[in-house]
Structures are given as structure tokens and as C-alpha cells.
């Protein structure tokens, strides 16, 4: 189908890897409206404007002269085509579908995916068949958000994420034990008067960590203290607070800004902010990409024994965060092109607090839905292969497809 023929584009949630190219897709599909959950509707403009800022910084750093894929003005011009809808409300895929197709429009329904604020699975129902797309999904409760509500999903075709397919849970793994381990690590670090850096995605992980810190203060595990966040983390935290009443969450009355003494750490402050006396920094980006607040603060902390960095999510091995995680204590390693070679003396710990369902949960979901065909997406090749092997063994009649980027699939 040509882009100009598209009636609508549906997005699952507002993490950059899911909406960063949205303006480009909309330019190729000028008639298409963009459908999303109402909670994503409150986020998407801010995310896209931030994408523009990041692209500008990268272009300037590389000394490039080429035009950006889209600008702030482009984003503003596209926003009238955005539409947000409540979960579990069946809507028409395209209101003008009848006019040029001569048949009833398929319907679309968003299901709470529990991954981050506004995340959604989607059911697209036609006259004869139903397709369900999981999006990024989390079946377990997090600190704030409750797990996905995918009860009674029925579909002929299932499109599913495979992020954790290459990661086996440790024997005896329990999320609550992991949270308890992080609580103890934060407590020890502050007792030792260390600065604690927790690199985190601005949308989702930052708010989960802030809620954990509130809990620790209320339980008396740590005293009240200032908590530093980045500017984008503050913006999304405000939206979490403002939309708490619309969200399926723990602690519905918790307002993070009221419960914590949040301080926005401006870029120009990173080089001079004090690192003694025990401070907590929950900073973007989770993978410490160059130019991010977490990267620049980490560059100050890596060579100091007194400091601590706690990873609470995935970091690609090829990113600064991934290289730091892999570095052994006392080892010199290449952190980034900006910071160069560094010797790791700081304390590092890792905690598995993923906002993705584990592979056993995803495999069980396939069995609950019992589709005739499964499309495997959003995962590394070995992750997709694990699911393909397991589904083939358990459900030999299911068709399994692994489309590549841009591939059209007929099921």
C-alpha cells in the first residue's frame, strides 16, 4: 500500500524508538490521522520536540549542514492530526473509510500494556478477522504502574514484541527481591556519603525510581534529601502527577513533585554540582548517550572510588552505558568519544527492573490467545529465534513470520 492510501497510523507508546520517525511517516501519508491512547496524546508532542533538539545537537556536534528529518515547525503543523482515546473503547479505524472503500471501517481498541504511561496493545477488528499487536508490554506490576490488562484478548493474528527472548530469568529471580536489593544499595551509598547516579529513561523508568525513593523516605530507610532530575524527566514526572487519576497504578494519590524535593540539574551545573555528602541523581539517558546528563555526570564519577552508579535497565553494549557496565573495577576502557579513555574506580551495581514482560510470560500469552499466525518483532535476531523455536515446538500449527524493516506481510 502506498503511503498516500493510508487512512490512519496507530502508535503503541511514546518511547523514542516507537515515535521518533512519526513525522516522516506522516509526511509520506498525508491523509492519515494518528491514533493513540489518551495518555500518549498528552506526551507525544513533547517527545517529538525533544527528538528535534537531540537531532540538532548531534548535527552540530558532527559539523553537518544537511537538513533535519523534521523541525519544531513540522511537529507543530502535524499535531492537529493526533487523536487520543481511552483504553477499552472500540473506535473506527478511519471515519472516511466508507467513502473510498465501499465497506465498513475496521475498528481499533487500545488495551493498557503496563509498560509506561500511555502504553497500549491494540486490537484491529475487521469483518472476518482480528489482529492484536502487543506493543511493548509488561505483565508484572512496577512501582507505580500496574501490569498489562490484556484479559480475554482474542485474535487470529498476533504481532508481538520479543525484547527479552534472549534473556533467561535467573533461578529464583523475584522482582521484589531485586527492588529490596536496590533499596539496600541506595541506603548503603547514602550512609557512605556517596553520590548515587541512576541513569534512567526520562519517560517511565525515572518515575518508577522516584516512587521508590518516596517509599524509602516514608519508611525511614533514608532521610529526606534533594533528588536531582533532568529537565525532560521533570516534564514527564509532572504529566505522571497530572494524569494520575486516569492511570491504572499503585498509589493513585501520590504526587511525586510534592513528595520529593526535586531539583532540575541544568547542563551547565553538571561540572560543578557537589558529589560529596550523599546525593541522588536520576538522570537521562538510560544508556548514557553522549551529551546526555547521565553521560556527563558519569564522566566525573567513574574515576572516583567514593561514587556509585546503579543501572536499573538495559544498556546496549555499544553505548557508553554498556561499555561502563562491562568495565571491570580498576580497568581502563573507552567510555565515549567525548570522554575518551577512563579508569573505572567507582562502585557499580546492576538491577533487573525491566518494564518488559519476560519471555516465559510472552510465551504463555501466545498460548492464551491461540492465534493462527504470529509475527515476531522488536527484538534482536536471537530473541526472535528463541520465540520461533519455542512456539514451533509448543504450537506446531501456528504460522510464524519474522518480517524485516519495511517488509509487507500477507497472512
Cα 163 from Cα 373, distance rounded (Å): 19
Region 196-223: what's the mean pLDDT?
A: 96
Q: Residue 62's pLDDT is what?
A: 82
CATH T-level topology, domain 3-155: Metallo-beta-lactamase; Chain A (3.60.15)
Strand order of the β-sheet with 82-85 is 8-10, 33-37, 82-85
* Torsion of the alpha carbons at 25, 29, 31 and 33, rounded to the nearest 10: -30
Q: Is the pLDDT of residue 201 over 70?
A: yes
Q: What is the pLDDT of residues 349-399, one digit of tens each?
A: 999 999 999 999 999 999 999 999 999 999 999 999 999 999 999 999 999
Which positions ≥6 away from 188 have C-beta within 8 Å? none
Cα 320 from Cα 221, distance rounded (Å): 31
Q: Residue 1's pLDDT is what?
A: 45
Q: Rounded to an integer, what is the distance from CA 315 to the centroid of its chain?
A: 12
Q: What is the pLDDT of residues 217-255, one digit of tens each?
A: 999 999 998 899 999 999 999 999 999 999 999 999 999
Q: Is the pLDDT of residue 203 over 70?
A: yes
DSSP code string of 122-177: EEEE-SS-EEEE--S---S--SSBPPP--TT---SEEEEE-TTTT-PPPTT--HHH
Q: Residue 95's pLDDT is what?
A: 67
Considering the domain 175-350 in this protein, what is its CATH number? 3.40.50.10890
Q: Are strands 130-133 and 120-125 parallel, antiparallel or unpaired?
A: antiparallel
The CA radius of gyration of the chain, in Å to the nearest whole number, is 22
Cα 144 from Cα 252, distance rounded (Å): 8
Q: Is the pLDDT of residue 273 over 90?
A: yes
Residue with the bigger pLDDT between 207 and 409: it is 207
Q: Residue 102's pLDDT is what?
A: 63
Please answer whether residues 136 and 163 qualify as being in contact, where contact means their C-beta atoms are separated by less than 8 angstroms.
yes
pTM score of the predicted model: 0.93
DSSP code string of 59-123: HHHHT--SPPS--HHHHHHHGGGEEEE-TT--EES-TTHHHHHSSPPPEEEEEE-SSSTT-EEEE
* Cell triple for 58: 548531534
Secondary structure class of 39 (helix, strand, coil) = helix
Q: At residue 122, what are phi and psi to the nearest 5 degrees?
A: -135, 130
- Nearest CA-CA partner of 281 in 302, 268, 298: 298
Query: Do the first three CATH levels of 3-155 and 175-350 match, i.e. the same topology?
Result: no
- Nearest CA-CA partner of 283 in 275, 294, 273: 294
Give the domain ranges of the chain: 3-155, 175-350
How many C-beta neighbours within 10 Å does residue 88 have? 11
Q: Residue 278's pLDDT is what?
A: 84
- Of 55-64, 385-394, 395-404, the range with the lowest mean pLDDT is 55-64
Amino acid at each position: 500500500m502506498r503511503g498516500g492510501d493510508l487512512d490512519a497510523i496507530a502508535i503503541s507508546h511514546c518511547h523514542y524508538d516507537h515515535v521518533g520517525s512519526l513525522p516522516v511517516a506522516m509526511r509520506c501519508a498525508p491523509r492519515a490521522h494518528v491514533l493513540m491512547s489518551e495518555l500518549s496524546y498528552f506526551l507525544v508532542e513533547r517527545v517529538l520536540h525533544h527528538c528535534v533538539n537531540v537531532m540538532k545537537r548531534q548535527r552540530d556536534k558532527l559539523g553537518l549542514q544537511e537538513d533535519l528529518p523534521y523541525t519544531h515547525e513540522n511537529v507543530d503543523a502535524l499535531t492537529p492530526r493526533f487523536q487520543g482515546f481511552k483504553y477499552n473503547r472500540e473506535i473506527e479505524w478511519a471515519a472516511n473509510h466508507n467513502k473510498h472503500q465501499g465497506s465498513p471501517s475496521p475498528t481499533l481498541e487500545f488495551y493498557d500494556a503496563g509498560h509506561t504511561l500511555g502504553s497500549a496493545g491494540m486490537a484491529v477488528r475487521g469483518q472476518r478477522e482480528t489482529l492484536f499487536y502487543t506493543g511493548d508490554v509488561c505483565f508484572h506490576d512496577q512501582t507505580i504502574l500496574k501490569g498489562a490488562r490484556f484479559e480475554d484478548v482474542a485474535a487470529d493474528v498476533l504481532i508481538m514484541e520479543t525484547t527479552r527472548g534472549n534473556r533467561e530469568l535467573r533461578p529464583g529471580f523475584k522482582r521484589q527481591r531485586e527492588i529490596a536489593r536496590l533499596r539496600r544499595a541506595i541506603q548503603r551509598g547514602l550512609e557512605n556519603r556517596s553520590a548515587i547516579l541512576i541513569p534512567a529513561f526520562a519517560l517511565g523508568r525515572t518515575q518508577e525510581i522516584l516512587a521508590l525513593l518516596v517509599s524509602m523516605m516514608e519508611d525511614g530507610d533514608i532521610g529526606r534529601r534533594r533528588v536531582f532530575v533532568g529537565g525532560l524527566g521533570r516534564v514527564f514526572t509532572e504529566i505522571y502527577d497530572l494524569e494520575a487519576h486516569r492511570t491504572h497504578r499503585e498509589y493513585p494519590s501520590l504526587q511525586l513533585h510534592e513528595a520529593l524535593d526535586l531539583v532540575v540539574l541544568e547542563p551547565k551545573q553538571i561540572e560543578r554540582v557537589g558529589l560529596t555528602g550523599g546525593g541522588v541523581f536520576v538522570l537521562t539517558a538510560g544508556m548514557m548517550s553522549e551529551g546526555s546528563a547521565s553521560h556527563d555526570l558519569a564522566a566525573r564519577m567513574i574515576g572516583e572510588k567514593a561514587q556509585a552508579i546503579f543501572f536499573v535497565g538495559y544498556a546496549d553494549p555499544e553505548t557508553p552505558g554498556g561499555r561502563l557496565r562491562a568495565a571491570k573495577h580498576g580497568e581502563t576502557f573507552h567510555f565515549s568519544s567525548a570522554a575518551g579513555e577512563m579508569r573505572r574506580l567507582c562502585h557499580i551495581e546492576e538491577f533487573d527492573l525491566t518494564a518488559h514482560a519476560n519471555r516465559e510470560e510472552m510465551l504463555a500469552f501466545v498460548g492464551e490467545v491461540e492465534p493462527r499466525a504470529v509475527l515476531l518483532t522488536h527484538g534482536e535476531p536471537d530473541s526472535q529465534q528463541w520465540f520461533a523455536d519455542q512456539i514451533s515446538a509448543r504450537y506446531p500449527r501456528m504460522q510464524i513470520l519474522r518480517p524485516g524493516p519495511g517488509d509487507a506481510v500477507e497472512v
